[in-house]
Structure 1
Amino acid sequence: MPTIDRFLEIRRDPHSGELLARGGDPGAHSVLQRVGFVSVARLHETYHRVPTGLSDRDEKRLATGAVARLRARGYHVDCDADFDTDARPAIYPTLGSSVAHLAERIREATTTDEVAEALTGLTAAHDGILAMVADVLAATADFYDGLDEPADPYIARRLRHLTDEHLRTIRTDLADTRNALADRHTAHPGRSACAEEVLSTERERSAVCACPPPPRTAPVPPPPVAAGLRR
């Protein structure tokens, strides 16, 4: 049975007429954002709305695209009849999937060298992921410098502050971590790969492998019986 997080609703609010999407898990929220919805965080829920200033035709196109893409990923979507569609667009890897791949490599790593290699994709000085994030923030700050609302220069300065202070700290700390791991050349004691082979010095040849048995834990004693329950 699908969990409740696999269900969404995309409808016009009967009171305000606003086109809203409610429900779903973080994966569904990412689909909505990629289609063009804007997330709204409230005290008891997070929902999504269409951007302001769209025509009814553009809102319908946006909502129909969201229904199609969510259903293509296995979500159950209830929607107004105007947004219903049988289209199921192809699913392509996102830019973030490369970072998820690095995380999976680190979770499966058994040596410090393997983790150092994975972290290099993040910390490489010229073309690492964090260097590219800094470039994106700088480009966005430059874009805000050319806009004409009073808050735009402050937003540009805030983006540059994030790049020069917070992101620089993350890049520096991760690069130091990567370099320290690259110098260690050791296996993780809790992640040794099991070859399922018996050592040549093993006298009991019926043994399955040479791995030490898992640690035994003492059984937890039952809680004491309350005095009032004894007979």
Structure 2
Amino acid sequence: MHNGGDTAPLLAAIDARLDQLGLPPRAWSGPLEPLNAADGVLHRAGFVSEVTHRGRFHHLPAGMTDPVEQRHAVTTAVDILQVEGFSFSCEADLLDPSLPVRSDHQVRLGDGLSSLTRSIAQAGHTSEAVAALSELTAPGDGVLDRLTEALDETANWWDGLDSPTDPVCAAKLRRINGQLGVVVLEIRRLRDNLADRHTHHPQHGQSGPTAAREPRVAAALAFSPTARRTTPPPPSPSPAATAAVPKSRPSTAPGR
């Protein structure tokens, strides 16, 4: 699977076809959002990304040599892409039609953090912005401290593998994590600086420091319901979409 070349005509044709089918377009926030969203799906499915002069590609891990395991990984990625609302094409022999079609949608941690972003953007008082920011910076159980803990544990686990380069990679991750720890402390100090201001934002609404803060923070800590997408119905067969993908696996192209 890869992203490269001039995809604008292809995406425009896909949009036109889906409009004919009466399917609403996805409300992307920027021109790169569809590609970034597809990257995130493939990243979570276990693919490895690579950037070359020809564009951005995704491939299966080099150590995955079992054809059965390869087909299982590709099939899983296809199902996730479809659940996320993408359409694409895939060779039939890369899929395992015996696997049940994956139809679940896992709510991501990043979706919850995006709610914090929206809460800060809408804050009318510094206390509201600080309340959301504190979920990132809180000592011990804040998101940033938990992040450094996870990276440190990853380095410990990696150190136990049996390649000569594994301890080197683990040490590099620990070094990066140490630098991140310093950055976390600086961010925490900046949060305290903002908390000391305790004032209304001159360009935002004059909401109170407590009454409007609580529902916004509660919404920020909950996973956004807009993160859930329903699986769109498969498009009607067309001459350009008669690739040999089994009927149990819908045909797709990155974009919607």
Scaled by the length of structure 1, the TM-score of the pair is 0.69
- Structure 1 residue 36 corresponds to structure 2 residue 43: no
Specify every segment of 5 or more residues in structure 1 that has no aligned partner in the other structure, as ranges. 8-23, 195-231
Asked if the contact 1:116–1:178 (Cα under 8 Å) also holds between the matched residues in 2, the reply is yes
CA distance in 2, matches of 1:149, 1:79: 34
Asked if the contact 1:5–1:25 (Cα under 8 Å) also holds between the matched residues in 2, the reply is no
Equivalent in the alignment of 1:4: 11
Asked if the contact 1:123–1:171 (Cα under 8 Å) also holds between the matched residues in 2, the reply is yes
CA distance in 2, matches of 1:65, 1:153: 31
Scaled by the length of structure 2, the TM-score of the pair is 0.62
Equivalent in the alignment of 1:198: none
CA distance in 2, matches of 1:106, 1:45: 35
> Which structure would you say has the larger RCO, counting Cα contacts within 8 Å and 6 or more residues apart?
2
Q: Displacement of 1:3 after TM fit?
A: 7.6
CA distance in 2, matches of 1:108, 1:190: 11
Specify every segment of 5 or more residues in structure 2 that has no aligned partner in the other structure, as ranges. 1-7, 15-33, 208-256
Q: Displacement of 1:128 after TM fit?
A: 0.6
Q: Displacement of 1:171 after TM fit?
A: 0.7
CA distance in 1, matches of 2:54, 2:9: 23
Within 5 Å, which residues of 2 pair with 1:61-210? 61-82=72-93, 83=95, 87=101, 89-165=103-179, 167-193=180-206
SS at match of 1:162: helix
String of CA shifts for 1:125-174, please: whole Å, max 9, x gaps.
11011111111111112123222322222222211211222x12321121
Equivalent in the alignment of 2:59: 49
Asked if the contact 2:47–2:58 (Cα under 8 Å) also holds between the matched residues in 1, the reply is yes
Percent of pairs identical after alignment? 33
- Letter aligned with residue 183 of structure 1: D
* Coordinate RMSD, CA, aligned: 2.7
- Letter aligned with residue 35 of structure 1: A
Larger Rg, first or second structure (1 or 2): 1
Are residues 5 and 37 of structure 1, via their aligned partners in 2, closer, same or farther at CA, if it must alter by over 3 Å? farther
CA distance in 1, matches of 2:157, 2:50: 24
Number of equivalent positions: 177
Asked if the contact 2:200–2:206 (Cα under 8 Å) also holds between the matched residues in 1, the reply is no
Asked if the contact 1:125–1:131 (Cα under 8 Å) also holds between the matched residues in 2, the reply is yes
Structure holding more helix per residue: 2
CA distance in 1, matches of 2:146, 2:9: 38
Q: Displacement of 1:25 after TM fit?
A: 0.8
